[in-house]
Structure 1
Amino acid sequence: MGTEGGGVAGVMATRRGRRPAVGGVQLTFEVIAETLREQIHSGRLKPGDALPTQTALMRKFGASSLTVQKAMALLKQDGWAVSRPGKGAFVAHYDQADAHDLDHEEVTAPAAGTAARIETLELALAEAVQQIADLRGRVEALESGGGGRGR
């Protein structure tokens, strides 16, 4: 149960249960989530600290609001962050004694029960909305490129 892989083991543990990234490359929302996890693990962000705002993350990563929302949903699902309505997202509290070993499920997933299921559904919904937006963009591109057919 050791962590001989160092940082790589931590990255691999965060991908458990999710579809593999295309060609081994992380998707933008995964990069955002991993960056914030590293800041938490390194101590730059401590339990109870406010996470960067959606706008700040959009600017820093050149990402859409939906991409940032997916990253935040992933952090919440994995127990790294909690939301406080009207106040924002904050670093979740976890057992400091186990913070060095991020491969253990109890460290990365303190959220349980109904809240975890809701956050899982929110992530799935965000993915579906992103897919719809992507399809809408493709349809619009096709329509604008072939608008003069048959006339």
Structure 2
Amino acid sequence: MAGVVTARRGRRPAGSGVPLTFEVIAEAVRERIRSGGLQSGDALPTQAALMREFGASSLTVQKAMTLLKQDGWAVSRPGKGAFVAHHDHPDDGAGDLDGPGVTAPAAGTTARVEALERALAEAVEQIADLRGRVEALETRSGKRDR
């Protein structure tokens, strides 16, 4: 497969361009869909098959499948498995992958990432504010104890 990126395990440092194993698996499946190797409605490879192919744990493969589903590339059918998403399933959050020129549902993903980044920045600000309040209280408490 062209453009294969070597994955690494564990946590990624901020700003690192090295994808984690579950991201490599998800991208490999997306590439199979883009190239026509998997068509809309086709069953995705089983968890066991992906574990063998990538030498990954079941949790890693599950994370890859979750990512594919969140991004609209795959849908789950209870009791049946995971399938390539297509327009026949609008209620399960999958986008239309049958249209000409469709490569990835990036706009929705980008918007979700940006919203999460904003929420994270707000949380960091709130933590810093609370930390300052605690330090102020501890300082006042320390002065009274003397």
User: Which range, TM-score by smaller chain?
Assistant: 0.5 to 0.7
Segments of 5+ residues of structure 1 without an aligned counterpart are: 1-7, 9-19, 110-151
Secondary structure at the counterpart of residue 66 of structure 2: helix
How big is the shift at 1:21? 4.7
Q: What is the TM-score normalised by the length of structure 1?
A: 0.53
Residue identity over aligned pairs, in percent, reads 67
Q: Which residue of 1 aligns with 2:81?
A: 88
- Preserved contact between residue 41 and residue 99 of structure 1 (Cα < 8 Å): no
Distance apart, 1:104 and its partner CA: 5.1
Please provide the CA RMSD for this pair. 2.8
CA radius of gyration, larger in:
2
What are the Cα deviations for residues 40-82 of structure 1, in whole angstroms up to 9, with x where unaligned? Answer: 0111100000000000000000000000000000000000000
Say which structure, 1 or 2, has more relative contact order (CA 8 Å, 6+ apart).
Answer: 1
Kindly tell me the number of residue pairs found equivalent between the two proteins: 91
In the TM superposition, what is the alpha-carbon distance from 1:24 to its structure 2 partner? 1.3
Instruction: Look up the match of 1:29.
Output: 22
Paired amino acid for 2:98: Q
- Residue in 2 that maps onto 1:51: 44
Larger helix proportion, structure 1 or 2?
Answer: 1
> Please, what TM-score do these two structures have when normalized by structure 2?
0.55
Which secondary structure does the structure 2 equivalent of 1:89 belong to? strand
The runs of 5 or more residues in structure 2 that have no matched partner are 4-10, 87-95, 111-146
Corresponding residue for 1:97? 99
